[in-house]
A and B are shown apart, each in its own frame.
Chain A
Amino acid sequence: MKHFTKLAVAAALGTVIGTAAVAQELYTPNLAYRTGPFAATGIPLMNGQADYMTMLNQRDGGIGGATIDFEECETGYSTEKGVECYEKTKGEAIVTQPWSTGITLQVLPKTNVDEIPILAPGYGFSPMADGTVFQWAFNMPAGYWDGADMIIQHLEAEGSLEGKKIAFLHLDHPFGKEPLPVMEMHAENKGFELLPIPVGLNEMQNQSAQWLQIRRERPDYVVMWGWGAMNAGAITEAVKTKFPMENFVGVWWAGHDADLKLVGEDGKGYKSISWSFPNLDAPLMKEIKEHVIDAGLSQTNEEEMQGVFYGRGLVMSAILAEGIKNAQENFGTADIDATQLRWGLENINLTQERIVELGMEGMVPPFSTSCANHTGHSGGWMLEWDGAKFVKASDLIMPNVDAYADLIQNAAEEYATSNAPWDRNEECSVSN
């Protein structure tokens, strides 16, 4: 009984203090994964995302006067925990950031009913580009189909692909299968042979069978759609089988510094397409150092901060912050809700001037979104491993979206029909 009285008194006290302390706060939870099999790649991204928001809170007192509550809900990349986190946070949240493709697939239909924007920068379902159908989902600045197209463009720049053979090493999972439609389309149009080689979730670390097949088939290029332990496995295996590294290209999630540090010099020439680049000289990095790292508010470290993934985390949060700012300016209130944030995310116009203003020069290509275009199709750079770090190896490559606009539309249509009744954005008159 004594405990209970104590508890009750404390509870009453707590409520009083709690109500007094309420300031304008925007709740943007992140469904993080710092544990589990993908933690090694997750941690730098999560740190980058969190640090950018902490920097805004410290330097500017949040965005437009409202502080950002960038709480993390740990999923360990498991879909069950993902649902738990989504249900837990959706009441207050103005945005949901689901992270894994599996969680995105589960959450995507629910956000359409719950009316919460889902921000999946550079991942998720490529047809989300069609904003008229997926009115609550965003995967800017670039989708997987953009990535596949940019990689093929880059390879074509090295010489015609006619009669060549491209092995497509991918995780046997919705994420890995995602770019297949665009790869197949290009294979048909450009006359190269596409050889899909799936890597099961159980065999990520031991890919000897897959690389034996690659040795036997002698492809001209290997394109990799890998994640987590699969990348390190593939890169070490490629070095072991002496596959020419300059003919090995990965998606942006296969460009993690730690994976390549394992092989160091031997990995020289490995490439990864990316819509972000860690420009260590950018003013933003100094701000982060001053307001977050030196203040002891970050979990990151010196080495991680220089990596591609940390920089990408910063870019992701910057995109979200830009959406929030747009919404605040348009609706004239700091305390925006989920629907207003959707407007903000649909009207992002990240021009080169704005990127410089944010202190992020060279860290992200300029792009803009509309109610019909939820991806932005920013394009990206081909990054190359020089033996110690990733460097830009190409100018900005722009995806040729027209070539697969029909694919996007058909896939989006198909999704909407199989999930009928599906609410669309009928008011949007802009075309993709």
Chain B
Amino acid sequence: MLYRTAGQFKTSYIADQALFPVRQDAFLLGIILIFGWVIFPMTASEFTVQTLLIPILIYALAAMGLNILTGFAGQLSLGTGAFMGVGAYACYKIITIFPELNPVIAILLSGFFSAGIGVAFGIPSLRIKGFYLAIATLAAQFFLAWLFEKWSWLYNYNASGAIQVPNSEAFGIFVMGPQAASITEYYIVLFVVTLLTVLCINLTRGNLGRTWKATRDMDIAAELIGINLLKSKLTAFAVSSYIVGVAGALYVFMWKGAAEPNVFYIQLSFQVLFIAIIGGLGSIMGNYLGAILIVGLPVVLNVVAGTQVFEMSTGSAILLIVLIAVATFLFGVARNLWGMGAAIGFGAVTLIYGYAQLHGFRIESAMIEHINVMIIGALIIFFLIIEPHGLNQLWRLIREKLIIWPFPH
């Protein structure tokens, strides 16, 4: 009913192969874009922009870069954190050497440096595969993180060894540094992320994407049908590292404002890898879903734990109830009882928590943090159990069922 495909005839191959074979998909994307470009910037508080919107977009972009390499081309990488670092340090050098350069261009340029480094560390992939390649990228991770600490030219011989984002102007306003408004930073991040997402969708659907997928599925077979593995693997490393590097530049210059070398340690690589895996390897949308779960949810839970449940504004209450209702409905459509239980359970726990608050119940902020970590961990396990192929696959199943809802076979 909601996702009715009846009457949407495809009379040509082009129509059948289109980006949105079902009209509702395009409609849904349009709504999301309107939210991203118009409604969020108009309504969101600075806190939301700084702790939810910007980091989710940046992490999603980093995961998308990794997904190109691991999900589409099948080359496992543990060096994402370091490649993000290359982007960030390259951007720092570009901006301090050419202060009059437009910061957005500097960010987009810095990706080329990480692409170069990525290709260099991707060369072993021509000989080794799987876990062995993961170890080779791990070497890149440790080597580069060590380099960020020891090579003082990278941070302009700063005594503290950290890089600081200077205030930079473009188009007559501050777009970077502490003087820049959050909303400006958000729009720049959104612009870059949208641009690169469009690029990725088209790349992965096109010729190059097909060679990557063939390489991933069976490289010997791919070679036999005439795919140049050298080209396929190294372009995957280049494109992936470019996107990861841009994400790294955004991460420091549009969000954190300052960074020490230890920011780019292996924990960051793992976090991005988790986002890509939970979101779904070999998908574009999954990266956003994964980032919402891993980066956004802890912040939301913290806020919920900190507010008086029964004193929240009507707007937030409606939003919360609508979200729970939508989640319950979607899981219901997919006949996923566990999912429905989890969504309703979340609502019930919130109500109980609010009731307890009315009777003077308080949790220390350290305890909230412990509980938060437990909830996120449990949710990761939960989603991987109900759908091992990630959130993207979960959405695809729900969408399939939605098309025939309410009359399942």
A→B interface (CB under 8 Å)? 3-4, 7-8, 10-11, 13-15, 18, 32, 34-35, 71-74, 76, 79-80, 83-84, 87-88, 91, 101-102, 105-106, 109-110, 112-113, 125, 172-174, 177-178, 180-181, 200-202, 299, 411, 418-421
Contact = CB atoms under 8 A, between A and B. Distances in A.
Nearest to B266: A202
Contact of B365 (A13, A74, A80, A105): A74
B interface, size bucket:
35 or more
B364 interface: yes
Interface string B231-257: 000000000000000000000000111
A7 to B, nearest CB: 5
Contacts of B149: 172, 200
Given A10-B354, A15-B311, A35 B366 contact: yes
Nearest to B312: A11
A71 B310 contact: no
Contact of A418 (B166, B302, B306, B321): B166
Given A11-B314, A74-B365, A83 B159 contact: no
B351 A106 contact: no
A109 B256 CA distance: 11
Contact of B257 (A109, A172, A200): A109
B336 interface: no
B256 A83 contact: yes
24 contacts: A8-B314, A10-B310, A10-B358, A11-B311, A11-B314, A14-B311, A18-B308, A18-B311, A74-B368, A80-B55, A84-B50, A87-B50, A87-B51, A88-B51, A105-B260, A106-B257, A112-B178, A125-B160, A174-B162, A174-B260, A177-B159, A201-B262, A419-B164, A419-B177
Interface in B275-324: 299, 302-303, 306, 308, 310-314, 317-318, 321
A413 B318 CA distance: 51
Give the interface centre of A8, A106, A177, A420 by most chain B CB atoms within 10 Å: A106
Contact of B302 (A8, A84, A102): A84
Nearest to B51: A84
Contact of A11 (B159, B164, B317, B347): B317
A88 B260 contact: no
A132 B381 CA distance: 53
Interface in B44-73: 46-47, 50-51, 55
Contacts of B50: 83-84, 87
Interface in B255-278: 255-258, 260, 262-263, 265
A245 B177 CA distance: 46
Nearest to B48: A87
Interface in B157-172: 159-162, 164, 166-167
A402 B173 CA distance: 41
A8 B303 CA distance: 19
Given A87-B46, A411-B159, A4 B310 contact: no
Contacts of A419: 164, 166-167, 177-178
A299 B369 CA distance: 17
B409 interface: no
A411 B159 CA distance: 9
B5 interface: no
B166 A11 contact: no
A202 B265 CA distance: 10
Contacts of A32: 365-366
A277 B119 CA distance: 56
Contact of A105 (B160, B302, B321): B160
A3 B351 contact: yes
Given A11-B314, A419-B178, A177 B161 contact: yes
Contacts of B51: 83-84, 87-88
A79 B370 CA distance: 17
B160 A177 contact: yes
B205 to A, nearest CB: 34
B369 A109 contact: no
B24 interface: no
A84 B299 CA distance: 8
Contact of B164 (A88, A109, A173): A109
A84 B312 CA distance: 20
Given A88-B303, A113-B178, A419-B164, 19 more contacts: A3-B321, A7-B317, A10-B354, A18-B311, A34-B364, A72-B364, A74-B366, A80-B55, A84-B302, A105-B160, A109-B257, A112-B178, A173-B262, A177-B159, A181-B159, A418-B164, A418-B166, A420-B166, A420-B167
B186 to A, nearest CB: 13
B194 interface: no
B181 to A, nearest CB: 10
A3 B320 CA distance: 12
B179 interface: yes
Contacts of A87: 46-47, 50-51
Contacts of A13: 310
Interface string B55-94: 1000000000000000000000000000000000000000
A79 B263 contact: yes
A79 B256 contact: yes
Contacts of A74: 365-366, 368-369
Interface string B354-380: 100010000011101110000000000
Contact of B260 (A72, A73, A102, A113): A102
A76 B372 CA distance: 12
Nearest to B179: A113
A299 B149 CA distance: 38
Contacts of B265: 201-202
A15 B364 CA distance: 23
Give the interface centre of B167, B260, B302 by most chain A CB atoms within 10 Å: B260
B246 to A, nearest CB: 19
A173 B260 contact: yes
Lowest 7 A-B CB distances belong to which pairs? A34-B366, A109-B178, A14-B311, A10-B310, A174-B160, A74-B369, A74-B365
Contacts of A202: 265
A7 B308 CA distance: 12
A266 to B, nearest CB: 31
A84 to B, nearest CB: 5
A76 B256 contact: no
Give the interface centre of A7, A101, A173, A201 by most chain B CB atoms within 10 Å: A7
Nearest to B357: A14
Give the interface centre of B149, B321, B365 by most chain A CB atoms within 10 Å: B365
A8 B317 contact: yes
A74 B263 CA distance: 19
Interface in B327-366: 347, 351, 354, 358, 364-366
Contacts of A84: 50-51, 299, 302
B354 A110 contact: no
Nearest to B318: A4
Nearest to A176: B161
A105 B159 CA distance: 13
Nearest to A18: B311
Contacts of B47: 87-88, 91
A335 B50 CA distance: 29
B260 A35 contact: no
B56 to A, nearest CB: 12
Given A3-B351, A72-B364, A110 B159 contact: no
Contacts of B160: 101, 105, 125, 174, 177-178
Contacts of A18: 308, 311
Interface string B131-165: 00000000000000000010000000001111010
